[in-house]
Chain A
Amino acid sequence: MSPHLPALPVVVPLLSALLITILGWSNRRLPFPIALVALTAGLLSALGLMKDVLARGVIGYNMGGWDPPWGIAYRVDHLNALVLVVVMAAALIGLIATRDRVKAEFEDRIVPFYTLFVLFVTGLSGILLTGDAFNLYVLLEIASLTGYALIGLGEGRAPLAGLNYILMGTIGASFYLLGVGYLYLMTGTLNMVDLAARLPGLYDSHVVALAFFICLTGLFVKMAFFPVHVWLPNAYSNASSAAGILIAPLTTKVMIYVMIRITLTVFTPDYAFDVLDIGDAVVWLSVIAIVMGSVFALAQNRLKRILSYIVVAEVGYMVGGFWLGNRAGITGSILHIVNDAAMTLCVFLAAGALLTRVPGDRLIHLQGLFRKMPVSMAALVVGGLSIIGAPPTCGFFSKWYLISGGIDAGHYGFVAALLFSSLVNVALFFRVFEIAYYEPFGADHGHDPRAHGASGREDAPAAMLAPLVVVAVLLVALGLYSGDLVSAIIQHAIPARII
């Protein structure tokens, strides 16, 4: 394998952004193929990295040949290789599926849209690969700024939602920057490996504790952890459906990765779980996040808003599972990063497919859709079942790990919150399915339903349905192979001292 493989997932999308901008102005048909090639290359190099990591263990890469601490070191291990594959795959599937939507929603802004999107992926893969705490901040802001712009490009309330997202997101990123500043002040380094070597001697310091809390708070804002989630539902539900499909599965998951990285790699697990001993408190916060996210989801009457609040609850799953601090909980949390990315992609994609044929995403608009759009609805059912946690979809397996982690840790509040959220999700999705199953009121009175059954069937374009079906199948496949995923990859991503 090429020695420069770790740089490719960042460099290729970055250069393709330039290409799209330069070539796109002369030919409007070019941006999509360029983005497609770039993300395919990104996915292939991510898979190559995964293979290398499985074969040889941790890979280090010095950007530009500069040794750390002068240069920026990239570091690939099981954890970020896995999340990178997920991010690249979700971005690629989203890109293919939203082609028509982007054409329809952004006719004259195709060039900026695709430029922003590949830059967004650049930022995310950089966050995943970098081994430098300050570089992570810069890439975080690249991903965030492009995310704000992608959301703000939409119509209606999207600019306002985007603006509020900027204000919240900037607070989050600035807090992270401040925390890194304190760490630099105490240790004199920004390289994660060096930080990990120097910090244990300073664990008594209040400054280090402050740095940890400030970083964590900033990341909580970025991942939309309740109660600092308020930007997410508005931003995701008001964004254009293309931007929603592309952004929703990725941002929160990558932020959870950063939290895991900071806690496990920069600090040692015993610092977070034993020295500071805040695990229990954060798990209780995530219990509140899960319960409130589910309750708010129940109160919504628009499909995309329901899905957005479900994302808020799912963030609670992952944060809570991680902070249980035992092997089962952290396994569940990492597995859920993978599964939740797929699930969120599936339901947002299904919602996007439905929106090609119905005027709005209010629940009332969904009437009769099982007949009209059977494939899209079937995919929504699979996604819904996975979010509920029904076997054999993947959602069941990560929830299983999370619950057994909760039982191992003796944290029954978390277990109860997970079960409560599953029940709420059952209620939510079956309400959606029920509405979609029945015909629109008054449409079929006194008629044979078959009379317009033939003309009534009008599913989303095949270009959108094919990726949607792939994702729905993937949800089941991820479920069936989740045992292998855990034993081959995730077990190696968790430090051995965690039991």
Chain B
Amino acid sequence: MSEFIDFFVGKYNYWAFILLMMIGLYAMIAKKNLAKKIIGMNIFQTAIILFYISTAAKGGGASIPIIAHGHGHGLSEHGARAADYINPLPHVLMLTAIVVSVATLGVALTLAVKVYHQYGTLEEDEIADRIRAQTGGEP
């Protein structure tokens, strides 16, 4: 039983990201409202960003990667032990991924506004009805 708890609690960051990812995926697939789908998309992307960030963490009091007392010559005496600092690379990568996700959100919202102006609604069922009315039932 305790192994089981360790399995869940010890890897809580993975459970959190999987849960968020599934919420996002569910919203994108099951919701009929385009705005909700876009929100789902953003949750989905954020989940992956959280996954990357959580992998950067290290136990044992590792801090942000700014070398303490590390002004020039002090560095050689203290040295920089990698274990004392969290891994900065996933953070840097996710900075890019955040920019990408903001851009995606921007394009998606722009198109959603266009769709709204065109059909007067963001509900997929109603949009489908309007399209059917316009084209006389043909795809």
B-contacting residues of A (Cβ < 8 Å)?
134, 137-138, 141, 145, 148-149, 152, 157, 159-160, 162-163, 166-167, 170-171, 174, 177-178, 181, 184-185, 300-301, 305
Contacts and interface: CB of A to CB of B under 8 A. Distances in A.
A166 B131 contact: no
A174 B139 CA distance: 30
Nearest to A233: B139
**Most B Cβ at <10 Å: residue of A167, A170, A300:** A170
B51 A181 contact: yes
B44 A171 contact: yes
Given A159-B114, A166-B104, A166-B108, A177 B97 contact: yes
A159 B48 contact: no
A162 B113 CA distance: 12
Contacts of A174: 44-45, 48
B16 interface: no
Interface residues of B, number: 33
Interface in B46-66: 48, 51-52, 55
A233 B93 CA distance: 33
Nearest to B40: A167
A198 to B, nearest CB: 16
Contacts of B119: 160
B127 interface: yes
**Most B Cβ at <10 Å: residue of A137, A152, A159, A174:** A174
Contact of A167 (B28, B90, B118): B28
A152 B110 contact: yes
B26 to A, nearest CB: 12
> DSSP majority for the A interface?
helix
Given A138-B100, A157-B131, A171-B25, A163 B108 contact: yes
B112 A163 contact: yes
B111 A166 contact: yes
A145 B104 contact: yes
Nearest to A161: B111
B15 to A, nearest CB: 15
Given A167-B37, A170-B41, A174-B44, A141 B112 contact: no
Contact of A166 (B41, B100, B127): B41
Nearest to B42: A170
Nearest to B28: A167
A145 B51 CA distance: 23
A389 B76 CA distance: 68
B43 to A, nearest CB: 11
A315 B136 CA distance: 32
A185 B89 CA distance: 11
B107 A178 contact: no
Given A138-B100, A300-B139, 7 more contacts: A138-B96, A145-B104, A157-B131, A159-B118, A163-B111, A170-B104, A171-B41
Contacts of A137: 97
Interface string B17-51: 00000000100100000100110010011001001
A145 B89 CA distance: 25
